[in-house]
């Protein structure tokens, strides 16, 4: 179809409701067309541009200058963000994408819109690329037309249009744009698809973009249905927010067939903004972790995330929950404010009359230690003392947290075990000022 800015008029209510509209402006064809189109639709005061310099090309500085000149000519404010591209085994393309979106997210204010110039040909490349990486329905759904991005919303209004549609418009308007030389390097996966694969497909299926878009829509529908089922299954599995991470009922999970178990596990991680497990991880959970003996302590990990079992529940744990080697021998704390512990948990007090630890004075001093073995406590109300090992077992504290519980000492005597117990003799009486302990993990 012949592209004109008027074809974006259906987006006007969303554009006008936003606190401000930003265009991710690379200086290339698609983002240039998008920027010009929005200025025509909304006026210069409602639109700003963001250029991300990945610092990967020798031409990066000249591209910055070009973007500044174009924006000056349009009367649009341009922000330039310097991005550090850190490659950690995922390839330069993916590392640059991650750096770019981080730069956008950092810059965008509350309730704003970020508009990107991805078009139909970009969508085809995305779907084919993900197909060859073995993606499921969510990946094969392609790029969404909109999604949340930090405090803002990301919008791709050009997805229905091909690159040739945009190029015809740009040439007719006399627009000048940047051609990134890296786009010709077929050692990059997407460039290989663009220059070597898609032209062959186009010879046999001229309407390939329409076909791929149709399949992507079907995959998106399938993924939404899977999410709806997983959401119901998560409710049935009695999810509980734990001190660290979340847990669900193993009995409920095991009542589902393997397809629903896998679907629930992926959905569960996604609900907490964690990397979803791939098929190898799912296989390990279904065929190794779940069938393990009741007294076993199996775990499956991926991307810094762990799944563990304990007392008929399955735990989803962000980060390695085991006791860090770097926990100090002791810390000194006056009880004021929150004490940040090295394992990313915090210790704090709340003053209460007749509850918690009895205070000696308005300002009390404590030494915070961690388990070294052999510690004992007689919790208030108990007839006898016992080792912390036995007490933790009785309490049902998850094994991976037992070495991380902060132990509060006063004058070299154990006073309290985290927020679990106060040792006999140190509790506040009804007519005394006390402080209750709170031990929390930062989310």
CATH code of the domain containing 54? 3.40.50.620
Q: Distance between CA atoms of 34 and 50, rounded to whole angstroms?
A: 13
Segment 312-328 mean pLDDT:
79
In a domain, 182, yes or no: yes
Do 270 and 398 share a domain, yes or no?
no
**pLDDT band (50, 70, 90) for residue 56:** confident
**pLDDT band (50, 70, 90) for residue 413:** very high
Do 37 and 149 share a domain, yes or no?
yes
Which residue pairs, CB below 8 angstroms and at least 24 apart, start in 145-152?
149/101, 149/104, 149/105, 149/108, 149/114, 150/105, 150/106, 150/108, 151/105, 151/108, 151/109, 151/110, 151/111, 151/112, 152/22, 152/105, 152/108, 152/109, 152/110, 152/111, 152/112, 152/113, 152/114
Do 153 and 300 share a domain, yes or no?
no
User: What does pLDDT average to over the chain?
Assistant: 91
pLDDT at 44 over 80: yes
In a domain, 231, yes or no: no
Residues 61-90: tens digit of each pLDDT: 999 999 999 999 999 999 998 887 777 666
pLDDT at 359: 83
Q: Distance between CA atoms of 301 and 287, rounded to whole angstroms?
A: 14
Residues 263-314: tens digit of each pLDDT: 999 999 999 989 899 889 999 999 999 999 888 889 999 988 999 999 999 9
Do 418 and 285 share a domain, yes or no?
no
Do 198 and 293 share a domain, yes or no?
no
What is the domain range of residue 303? 249-318
Do 126 and 204 share a domain, yes or no?
yes
pLDDT at 365: 84
pLDDT at 427 over 60: yes
In a domain, 15, yes or no: yes
pLDDT at 156 over 80: yes
pLDDT at 326: 64
Domain boundary among 318, 349, 374: 318
> Which range (54-58, 192-196, 371-375, 415-419) has the least confidence?
54-58
Global pTM value: 0.80
Do 304 and 435 share a domain, yes or no?
no
pLDDT at 212: 94
In a domain, 236, yes or no: no
**pLDDT band (50, 70, 90) for residue 363:** low
Do 345 and 376 share a domain, yes or no?
yes
**Residues 169, 172, 178, 181, CA torsion sign:** positive
The total number of structural domains in the chain stands at 3
Segment 22-31 mean pLDDT:
95
In a domain, 282, yes or no: yes
**pLDDT band (50, 70, 90) for residue 173:** very high
Do 275 and 411 share a domain, yes or no?
no
Do 268 and 395 share a domain, yes or no?
no
In a domain, 301, yes or no: yes
Do 30 and 93 share a domain, yes or no?
yes
Do 57 and 150 share a domain, yes or no?
yes
């Amino acid at each position: 179809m012949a592209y004109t800015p008027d074809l974006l008029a259906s987006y006007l209510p969303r554009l006008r409701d936003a606190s401000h509209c930003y265009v991710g402006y690379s200086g290339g064809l698609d983002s240039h067309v998008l920027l010009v189109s929005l200025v025509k639709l909304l006026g210069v005061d409602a639109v700003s541009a963001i250029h991300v310099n990945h610092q990967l090309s020798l031409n990066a500085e000249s591209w910055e200058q070009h973007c500044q000149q174009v924006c000056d000519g349009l009367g649009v404010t341009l922000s330039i963000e310097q991005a550090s591209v850190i490659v950690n085994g995922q390839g330069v393309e993916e590392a640059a994408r991650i750096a770019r979106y981080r730069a956008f997210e950092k810059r965008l204010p509350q309730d704003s819109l970020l508009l990107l110039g991805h078009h139909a040909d970009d969508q085809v490349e995305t779907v084919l690329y993900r197909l060859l990486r073995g993606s499921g329905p969510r990946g094969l759904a392609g790029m969404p037309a909109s999604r949340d991005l930090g405090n803002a919303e990301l919008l791709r209004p050009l997805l229905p249009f091909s690159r040739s549609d945009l190029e015809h418009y740009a040439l007719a308007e006399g627009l000048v744009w940047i051609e990134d030389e890296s786009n010709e390097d077929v050692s990059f996966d997407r460039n290989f698809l663009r220059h070597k694969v898609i032209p062959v497909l186009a010879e046999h299926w001229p309407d390939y973009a329409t076909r791929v878009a149709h399949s992507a829509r079907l995959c998106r529908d399938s993924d939404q249905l899977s999410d709806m089922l997983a959401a119901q299954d998560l409710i049935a599995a009695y999810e509980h927010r734990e001190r660290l991470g979340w847990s669900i009922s193993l009995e409920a999970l095991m009542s589902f067939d393997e397809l629903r178990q896998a679907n629930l596990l992926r959905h569960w991680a996604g609900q907490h903004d964690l990397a979803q497990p791939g098929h190898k991880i799912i296989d390990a959970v279904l065929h190794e972790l779940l069938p393990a003996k009741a007294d076993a302590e199996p775990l499956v990990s991926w991307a810094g995330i762990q799944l563990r079992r304990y007392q008929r529940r399955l735990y989803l744990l962000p980060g390695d929950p085991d006791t860090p080697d770097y926990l100090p021998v002791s810390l000194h704390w006056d009880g004021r404010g929150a004490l940040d512990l090295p394992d990313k948990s915090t210790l704090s007090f709340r003053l209460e009359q007749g509850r918690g630890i009895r205070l000696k004075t308005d300002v009390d001093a404590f030494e915070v230690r961690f388990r070294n073995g052999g510690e004992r406590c007689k919790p208030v109300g108990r007839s006898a003392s016992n080792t912390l090992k036995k007490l933790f077992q009785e309490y049902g504290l998850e094994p991976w947290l037992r070495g991380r519980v902060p132990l509060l000492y006063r004058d070299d005597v154990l006073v309290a075990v985290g927020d679990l117990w106060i040792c006999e003799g140190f509790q506040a009486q009804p007519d005394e000022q006390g402080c209750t302990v709170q031990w929390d993990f930062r989310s």
